[in-house]
Amino acid sequence: MRLSEKISLGILTTLSFIVAGGIACTYSTTNVVNPILAGALGILIFLVVGAIGCMYGNRRLAKRRASQVAR
């Protein structure tokens, strides 16, 4: 993984934990899930999964290219 990929994944993961904590905090005080925070968490999870998929795909392409060059 490149350094930029590690940094972006770390930032997205940290943000998702912060938003999940915000949801837990608001739920414990009001007994109602905040729909804005729930939507933000859904978007962040979508972005994290997409970033992981792109990183995995790029790694597979790099391996395939390396094996083609070796031939």
Q: Which two tokens stand for residue 56?
A: 């995995």
**pTM of the entire predicted model:** 0.78
> How many separate domains does the chain show?
1
Is residue 50 within a helix (H) or strand (E), and if so which, with residue range? helix 35-70
Q: Could you list the residue range(s) of the whole structural domain that residue 17 is in?
A: 3-70
Phi, psi of 32 (to 5 degrees): -135, 135
Percent of the chain scored above 90 by pLDDT? 62
pLDDT at 70: 66
Span 27-57, pLDDT tens digits: 999 999 999 999 999 999 999 999 999 988 8
pLDDT at 39: 96
Which of 54, 48, 50, 53 lies closest to 13 in space, CA to CA?
A: 48
- Chain center to CA of 56: 13
Q: How confident is the model at residue 26 (pLDDT cuts 50, 70, 90)?
A: very high
Cβ atoms within 10 A of the Cβ of 66, count? 9
